[in-house]
A and B are shown apart, each in its own frame.
Chain A
């Protein structure tokens, strides 16, 4: 009979330990956030822009500071083969719309500075670009890889997410739709 309380205490400790590990795991998962669905507010973030890739914006830019503009946020990386396929299209469309209330933001994912800057130079990119330090933005938007592009309207609402390289025609159509609203 004396053994029973010991067994109960042991079982309680084991349950508490399992529950503790479970809570920690849940916490780690929740830190990643959920992918914002079209129609929901775009999670706010701060992006430190690369020198030479600020296009008149401050060194640190907050997404909420861009309210009133259509934002095309593109996740990319210098090692990403698919990203290179849409690099020219992004730059061309950016140049066409940069003075019409459209802001392009390049979010560099899991990259090191030298290859990232070499990539931007290679594709003549001029729109604002910066590194996603510690992948905070990628986690907030729960991207599954690169490239991924989020279209955010003037009110800061995510309107569309494209998980593939974009063409000029696609970019133009989506931006025109948001500008027309």
Chain B
């Protein structure tokens, strides 16, 4: 919302600079509206997510403990219902989202997290795709560079050669004699 309002402000500023005096009034009205949008866009206490929404957001970051690969938030099992109730209870008790996630990680291990930490034994697994992509890019670059060099050499070698095969053969003969 803030980004949108900023874009509107920028566009209005451009318009004001290049517009006629009559249309400036319109632009100022738009500017005022954008400012209102900016004001509305700011988070206020009344707009903070409701507890259930906050529970859902945290649950989205956790795995269902009993259904392999399933998100806690979307899982209808009894286990997940209990876990979601635990999240809500902890949020209601004043814990932050991170504290709730830390609680689940401490109790059930890193496998409970949708996104495992990028440290320890799992770190190479995160680094491997990046490393593989880099190796691929370097290899592709080297191959392309070498192919381009070879093509250049071929085109230089064939430069000035006649398209007529008899003439070309004659030219080759002359070159050999030289």
Contact = CB atoms under 8 A, between A and B. Distances in A.
B124 A21 contact: yes
Nearest to A111: B82
Interface residues of B, number: 26
Contact of B131 (A2, A3, A17, A135): A17
A112 B82 contact: yes
A79 interface: yes
B125 interface: yes
A134 B109 contact: yes
Interface in B115-149: 121-122, 124-125, 128, 131-132, 135, 139, 142-143, 146
Given A17-B128, A27-B121, A110 B142 contact: no
B25 interface: no
A109 B132 CA distance: 39
Contacts of A20: 124, 128
B135 A134 contact: no
B164 interface: no
A28 B121 contact: yes
Nearest to A134: B109
Interface string A74-98: 0001110000000000000000000
A77 B128 CA distance: 37
B82 A115 contact: yes
B78 to A, nearest CB: 4
Contacts of A115: 82, 85
A20 B82 CA distance: 38
Given A10-B135, A24-B122, 9 more contacts: A10-B139, A110-B79, A112-B86, A114-B85, A114-B86, A115-B82, A115-B85, A131-B107, A134-B106
